[in-house]
Structure 1
Amino acid sequence: MYIKKILLAIVLIGLAVAAFFAYYVYSTMFSPNTAFNNDTAYVYVKSTDTYNDVREQLMPLLKDIDKFDALAEQKKYVSNIKAGRYAIEKDMSNNDIINSIRSNNLPIKVSFNNQETLEKLAGRVASQIEADSISLLNAMKNKNFLNENNFKEETALGMYIPNSYEFFWNTSAEKFTNRMLKEYNRFWNDSRKAKAKVINLSEDEVIALASIVQKETAKVDERPRVAGVYVNRLKKRMPLQADPTVIYALKKKTGDFEQVIKRVLYKDLEIDSPYNTYKYAGLPPGLIAMPDVSSIDAVLNYEKHNYYYFVVNVENFGYHKFAKTLAQHNRNKQEYIRWINNKGIRR
């Protein structure tokens, strides 16, 4: 009888231990362990991060970090960190969290447009992926990469077609530039190449002209007409005389691309720069800003007309008045000069 009681006690203790162990395993692995109220929280794991770095991000998101540590050790996550952007859903268990941050790297949308320089583009992209602006700029300016793909530093910005692209957050600078080269080559399909050939311009020249069109007008519906003016000038071997190229030359000379220049002065037209299309005929050596796809296609599908001049239309702001003759243009120009003087715009 005494032995039966001992055996029963042992069995009960064993059951209690097993129950406690089962509860501990369940609470460690499968019970909810999130401490945030939003539906989703994101964890960004850098390529150089250790478990302690990941743990530091997780601490404010979890109720019990110690239980997470125990399971992470058991599942060998502590020695197998994977870089990327990961989602943690509200009420996830430790087991689900580890599975997510170990194997469910989520892509992000990287977008950019209207950057004036590679430096600005690198900064814009660096704010969206892990790679920093210095490594991105070095990759963008890498001489071997540019030479192998028929770019120069002056034309390199044209390789980046403005849009939204899907990337993994931990994309390296080199992988970013390689991907953008593929997107550039995809953009220049047979149809666009054929249209460029018709107007006797290379891809770089189309983008350089598109960048001028982009700066001349914000009105998408007017861009083909503005492009047509410049194509007409190129055909007649007339200088482009595009004010945005002078503004770019001034910014490039001073190194200050943040300055705002609202008015080009006659003295500015004398600046000695290959980007000054008043002083040098033909297209500048590279683009003066990143053009939208609408501006590139405006050049490739330019409006055929007999206009050679245009100036701001003070009666319909945002648009321009176009002229076929210099006499007509000078009349339109005087109207604009009177308006800008009345507004007191000196620079």
Structure 2
Amino acid sequence: MLWSFLIALGLVLAMAGSVLFYLWNGLRPTAASSKTVMITISSGMRAQKVAEMLEENGLIRNASLFNGWLKLQGEGSRFQAGEYELTPGMTRDQIVAKLNKGDIVAASTIKFTIPEGFTVQQIADRLAEKAGIDKAKFLEIAGKPEEWTGSIWTKTLPTDKNLRYPLEGYLFPDTYEMKAGSTESEIINRMLAELDRKLDQLPEDWLGTLEERGLTVHQLLTVASLVEREVVIDEERPIVSSVIENRLKKKMPLQIDATIQYSLDKPKERLLEADLKVKSPYNTYLNAGLPPGPIANPSLKSIEAALYPEQTDYFYYVTKKDGTNSHLFAETFKQHQKNIKLSEKNEKK
């Protein structure tokens, strides 16, 4: 009986020792290494899934034991989403502390600036150069409404086949910093979201003002784009906006050179008389009213000028050509002709 007892006791102790060794071995740190391992925890990921990921990457020995230990310690519910840099050999406490703290690796980013007045085509060129995006894909997505989720105002875009680029005027010019590897769609929607954010900075009554003037947001952005491409000096933006409004009220052709430039495949340094006859819905010499849509992506100052034009009797303007980038304004065509001669004199000087 004594021998039977000793044998049974030995078996129990052996089994207990095996269990203890299994637990000790399964929970001890992995072999130390200087090689870093990157893991990504997504939002809402369960502790068991995290444990499995840690085991797969050689950071712990046994996911089931690690998960059980987390439950006993009351851990695992505070892990924060993000990308982590871990190394084999870290203790359980070190791993948990890092995940609880959210000590994530700073994501690499791309930074790019879209100047005010850039067209969709120019934006695509700039992003291909500075952000490494696929230009053709960017332009393709810029023509797919189902991809646009960044702005509420794209829902009101007119379905006009004459629009050269539907998102022209809606991609807000600014300096952006985004996660490296951002897709063409993500970049477009980030720029669309910025438009909404900027429009929210307008006075609270801006939509009421727009309704009183009988304009849609699309028409507002169209006028703003004309102002953007015609004006350099901020103080003149509301004045040029007033010329546009006055001409529209009188049903006069806008005759804005910037719309001709937009109509051409390649902008010219100087327009010729023949260019003014180019057949295009954007040609404001041949077509009355506003063009089908914006001809560029305007700044907030140009949007404000389009929304709140100066009260003037001006119907004409011409650049002074004296190096100041300013304009001469006129109420009558006769006065405008005098201004043109003065402008030409300045150019000769």
TM class by shorter chain equals 0.5 to 0.7
Partner of 2:312: 305
Of 297-306 and 192-201, more deviation after overlay is shown by 192-201
Who wins on radius of gyration, i.e. which is larger? 2
Partner of 2:273: 266
Aligned AA (2:141)? A
Task: Give CA deviations for 1:185-206 in whole Å, capped at 9, x if unaligned.
Answer: 3333354323322332211111
Task: Give CA deviations for 1:25-63 in whole Å, capped at 9, x if unaligned.
Answer: 4x8379xxxxxxxxxxxxxxxxxxxxxxxxxxxxxxxxx
Partner of 1:207: 221
Shift of 1:283: 0.5
**Residue of 325, 336, 339 corresponding to 1:329:** 336
3-state DSSP class of the match of 2:113?
strand
- Is the 8 Å Cα contact of residues 115 and 121 (structure 1) preserved in structure 2? no
Count of aligned pairs: 262
- CA 1:132 to 1:316, structure 2 compared with 1: closer, same or farther past 3 Å? closer
Aligned AA (1:182)? A
3-state DSSP class of the match of 1:156?
coil
3-state DSSP class of the match of 2:34?
helix
- CA 1:202 to 1:104, structure 2 compared with 1: closer, same or farther past 3 Å? same
**Structure 2 residues not aligned, in runs of 5+:** 1-30, 37-55, 61-82
Task: Give CA deviations for 1:234-284 in whole Å, capped at 9, x if unaligned.
Answer: 1121111111112222x2xxx23xx4x233333322222211111110011
Aligned AA (1:150)? T
- CA 1:177 to 1:280, structure 2 compared with 1: closer, same or farther past 3 Å? same
Shift of 1:298: 1.3
Shift of 1:101: 11
**Structure 1 residues not aligned, in runs of 5+:** 1-23, 31-71, 77-85
Q: TM-score, normalised by structure 1?
A: 0.63
Aligned AA (2:231)? T
**Residue of 285, 302, 305 corresponding to 1:295:** 302
- Is the 8 Å Cα contact of residues 240 and 283 (structure 1) preserved in structure 2? yes
- Is the 8 Å Cα contact of residues 130 and 169 (structure 1) preserved in structure 2? no
Shift of 1:230: 0.9
Shift of 1:103: 4.4
Shift of 1:227: 1.0
Residue identity over aligned pairs, in percent, reads: 30
- Is the 8 Å Cα contact of residues 137 and 184 (structure 2) preserved in structure 1? yes
- Is the 8 Å Cα contact of residues 253 and 287 (structure 2) preserved in structure 1? yes
Partner of 2:248: 234
3-state DSSP class of the match of 2:168?
helix
Shift of 1:326: 1.2
User: Does 2:81 correspond to 1:105?
Assistant: no
- CA 1:299 to 1:208, structure 2 compared with 1: closer, same or farther past 3 Å? same
Aligned AA (2:249)? K
- CA 1:135 to 1:102, structure 2 compared with 1: closer, same or farther past 3 Å? farther
- Is the 8 Å Cα contact of residues 84 and 104 (structure 2) preserved in structure 1? no
Q: TM-score, normalised by structure 2?
A: 0.63
Q: Distance in 2 between matches of 1:298 and 1:105?
A: 39
Partner of 2:178: 167
Matches within 5 A, 1:96-245: 103-114=105-116, 116-129=118-131, 131-145=133-147, 149-151=155-157, 153-154=163-164, 155-189=166-200, 190-245=204-259
Which has the larger share of helix? 1
Aligned AA (1:168)? K
